[in-house]
Amino acid sequence: MPNTTRLRHSIFVTCVRGVKPNMKNLLLSLSLLVSQFALGEGMDELIQKLENKQIEEWAFNYEFYEKIHGKVNPDVWPNYSSLNIAERYVALILDLEGQVNNGGFDQYYFNSYGDNAAEAVMALRAIGANSVAKMLVESFSVFPNSKPSPDRWVRQAQLEKIGESGNEKLSKLDDQFYEYPDNINALLSAYIISNRAQFE
């Protein structure tokens, strides 16, 4: 697995394979930083703070991620069947971003978040993150018939068989992802605001 845990004003999700000990402090610092923002405020207040640059886009998005997360039984996360389409798209995108920033596409597919890879492509396209959507589709090619299994355990077995060429491909896509060809935070904030009724 690539050692690619990074901070890019995004959501960290700890890999089941673990993170380096020094990352624990970084994750704690991030959670404390977020707690200083507007968690728990209403939509109008959050939008006003965003427009007045009192909070950054990533913190604005995190507020809604937390609200969405609270609607889902933690025992079934990331099962998004109880969420509306806009909520699902926010969760799918931030889960993808957090996983890839933490451990690359390998980690995303190794963990249960990869169950939703096909819908994550639709989510990225919905907010206009077409370059990242293209990367995600390209990552499918390391799997049989370019279709990662939606079953985590089957997919993990598939990952074991992708070989050196498959691992190299995922690593290259990791590097492309870290360049952020799409401003995911700005696009996601705009999407949330334009679909505000779905989050109130």
Residue 15 belongs to some domain of the structure: no
Residue 23 belongs to some domain of the structure: no
Residue 27 belongs to some domain of the structure: no
DSSP output for 41-96: --HHHHHHHHHTTSS-HHHHHHHHHHHHHHHS-TTTTT--TTS-HHHHHHHHHHHH
pLDDT band (50, 70, 90) for residue 22: very low
Distance CA 173, CA 176 (A): 5
Residue 50 belongs to some domain of the structure: no
For 104, the domain range is 57-198
The mean per-residue pLDDT over the stretch 99-107 comes to: 95
Spatial CA neighbour of 7 closest among 24, 35, 27: 27
For 54-73, the pLDDT digits (tens) are 889 998 898 888 888 888 77
Residue 107 belongs to some domain of the structure: yes
Q: What is the CATH number of the domain that holds 154?
A: 1.20.1420
pLDDT of res. 41: 64
Residue 28 belongs to some domain of the structure: no
Rounded to two decimals, the pTM is: 0.78
The count of domains in the chain is 1
Residue 113 belongs to some domain of the structure: yes
CA-angle at 75, arms to 97 and 61, nearest 5°: 30
The mean per-residue pLDDT over the stretch 80-87 comes to: 89
For 23-55, the pLDDT digits (tens) are 444 444 454 444 444 445 677 888 888 888 888
pLDDT of res. 46: 84
Report the sign of the C-alpha dihedral through residues 3, 183, 85, 62, in that order.
positive
pLDDT of res. 148: 96
For 111-148, the pLDDT digits (tens) are 999 999 999 999 999 999 999 999 999 999 999 999 99
Q: Is the pLDDT confidence value at 175 over 60?
A: yes
Residue 174 belongs to some domain of the structure: yes
Residue type, 83: L
